[in-house]
Chains A and B, each alone.
Chain A
Amino acid sequence: KQEVTQIPAALSVPEGENLVLNCSFTDSAIYNLQWFRQDPGKGLTSLLLIQSSQREQTSGRLNASLDKSSGRSTLYIAASQPGDSATYLCAVTLAWGGATNKLIFGTGTLLAVQP
């Protein structure tokens, strides 16, 4: 059974710091890994999708890496801003799930960027 873990569960940093969020998964047979952001009481916003054949993806101040063999992904946020405060979730899609393409989620990291 695929298990997805995110560390730390919560993180508080001052504005301007660079930070790293971690995601690990137990089954390396994945199609891809997707990072989401969730603001309080809101739905999920897709940030980055990394296919299993890729090692990293970048979007603005965000950079996500994937090491499938070790079951790890990191989300790097450069020059953090108070507007980055949210819960960050990673999710994997299992390669053996067939056409269903179900997402398996981690429990998230709650990020607070202090002004």
Chain B
Amino acid sequence: SQTIHQWPATLVQPVGSPLSLECTVEGTSNPNLYWYRQAAGRGLQLLFYSVGIGQISSEVPQNLSASRPQDRQFILSSKKLLLSDSGFYLCAWRLGGLRAPEAFFGQGTRLTVV
């Protein structure tokens, strides 16, 4: 069966520090991968998605970047965090293709920038 892992679960970082959040998927190959952010009292906003190794698309301009160094690994990064980067970050995967199978999410990372 497929599983998705996200870490760390919580993170408190000072403004201006770097960030690296990691997401890995097991039990499947060539998944579509996604990073979402959920700000307090707001819906889920799609930040990045990837349909293959090294292929990253950004949905909104921001202080963050994403990379996919391996087929089942998706990394969210920042060189210098801002207060506005605080939020709940969720990684998701689903198989690609035109019929859009079920999507699955990780347990999330709570990021607080202080």
Q: Residues on A close to B: CB < 8 A?
A: 31-32, 34, 36, 41-46, 49, 51, 89, 91, 93, 99-108
Contact = CB atoms under 8 A, between A and B. Distances in A.
Given A43-B90, A43-B105, A99 B42 contact: no
A31 B104 CA distance: 16
Contacts of A32: 99-100
A103 B102 contact: no
Contact of B100 (A36, A41, A93, A107): A93
A34 B90 CA distance: 16
B104 A99 contact: no
Given A43-B107, A46-B103, A102 B90 contact: no
A98 to B, nearest CB: 8
Interface of B: 6, 32, 34, 42-44, 46, 49, 51, 57, 59, 88, 90, 92, 94, 96-108, 110
Contacts of B6: 43
B25 to A, nearest CB: 13
Nearest to A6: B43
A104 B31 CA distance: 18
Nearest to A31: B100
A51 B42 CA distance: 26
Contacts of A89: 43-44
A34 B108 contact: no
B42 A107 contact: yes
A46 B104 CA distance: 7
19 contacts: A31-B99, A31-B100, A44-B92, A45-B105, A46-B103, A51-B99, A89-B44, A91-B44, A99-B51, A99-B96, A100-B49, A101-B97, A101-B103, A102-B34, A102-B59, A104-B46, A105-B43, A106-B43, A107-B42
